[in-house]
Structure formats: C-alpha cells, structure tokens
Amino acid sequence: MAPSQRAVAAPRIDVRIAPAFRASVRAAWLRAVARRALAAEDVGPVQVGVVVSDDETVRELNQRFLGLDEPTDVLSFSLAGQDEAPFALPPEEASLGEIVIAYPTAVRQADEAGRIVDAEVAHLLVHGLLHLLGYDHQGPQDERAMRGREEEILAGLSNSIGPFERLHGSL
C-alpha cells in the first residue's frame, strides 16, 4: 500500500477493570466509547489507559498525586509532553496518559442525576479524555468550553452507537 493510502492506526485503549466491577462494565464498551471520543477530537494513533476502580483507590491516588485527600469521580494522568513514557510504545504511537474512574461514585452520581450508569461512565471517560487532550475547567470560560465539548461528544456517541441503554450490551 502506498504511504498516502496507509490506514491510520486506531488508538490503543488499554482497559483494566477491578474484579468487583467486571460484571457491570465491559472493556470492549469502554474502548468503543474512548475511540469514538478520540475520533471526535481528530486524534490519531495514541495509547490511553482506562482503569475502573473503587472509591478508596481513587481517593488514595488523588491524595498521592494531587495532594487532595478527598474522593473524586475521575482522575486523569497525562503523559503528553514527557520525553519518555515509562514503558515501551511503538514509534508511531504516543501515550496520552491514563484515566481512572471510581465506579461506585459513578453509580451514585447516575442515581442522583436520574440517568443510567452507562451514561455517567461515558461522561466521566469523555471528561477524562478531554483533560488528557488539554481541556480544563479552572476558569468559567474554560469550563464552558469543556462542558460544551463534552456534550457534543456525548450526543455524537448516542447518535453513532445508539441510546446508552443499548450501548453496553451491543459492543
């Protein structure tokens, strides 16, 4: 195949789900959500780690790496801009970083918001990916921009792979 006709490599999404949540969340579904979100941002061949964990682990990570001794729903650890990743990657692949989702918090937030858990997990995953891509919500203008982009991507996910009620079982 000629260089100009080479297929662009899909992002590599490495997923780890804590044993307690493996019956509730499918790795293939998380990969599909992440790939579609990255495609919406026009991101080429990258590696992203996605971890689904418990509240205590996420709280410990928040304390250790961000100095915040409090629970949170999602953490993003960016590797962008680092000269060397802490692991070997193919030369055409850059590592964006890792996203850690607190699944019990996602369940509580979904219940409080009156939405299904899949929609909340997808929202947290997209939120984490946008952080890895440089979005932030420190100021009001940045927050509006990030929230607007989250909503656009989530609407696109729902349109491209169906209502969230069907997402989890269809991939």
pLDDT per position in the chain (171 positions), as tens? Answer: 444 444 557 899 999 999 999 999 999 999 999 999 999 999 988 999 999 999 999 999 999 999 999 989 999 999 876 555 445 445 556 889 999 999 999 999 999 999 899 999 999 999 999 999 999 888 889 889 999 999 999 988 876 655 554 444 333
The reply to whether 2 falls in a domain is: no
CATH number at residue 139: 3.40.390.30
Distance in angstroms (rounded) separating the CA atoms of residues 127 and 165: 20
Instruction: Count up the domains in the chain and report the number.
Output: 1
Question: What is the C-alpha to C-alpha distance for residues 74 and 93, in angstroms, rounded to an integer?
Answer: 24
The answer to whether position 122 is within a domain reads yes
Q: Average pLDDT of the chain?
A: 84
Give the Cα separation of 109 and 32 in Å (integer). Answer: 22
Q: Got the DSSP string for 33-101? A: HHHHHHHHTT--SEEEEEEEE-HHHHHHHHHHHH---S--SEEEEE-TT-SS-SS---TT-EEEEEEEE
| Residues spanned by the domain of 74 | 8-170
In a domain, 112, yes or no: yes
1 in any annotated domain: no
Locate 69 and state its tokens. Answer: 């001794």
Phi, psi dihedrals of residue 73, rounded to the nearest 5°: -90, -35
> Which value, to the nearest 10 degrees, does the dihedral of the CA atoms of residues 135, 36, 50, 100 take?
40
pLDDT tens digit sequence for 18-29: 999 999 999 999
Query: Are 53 and 107 a contacting pair, CB within 8 Å?
Result: no
Residues 6+ apart with CB under 8 A from 42: none
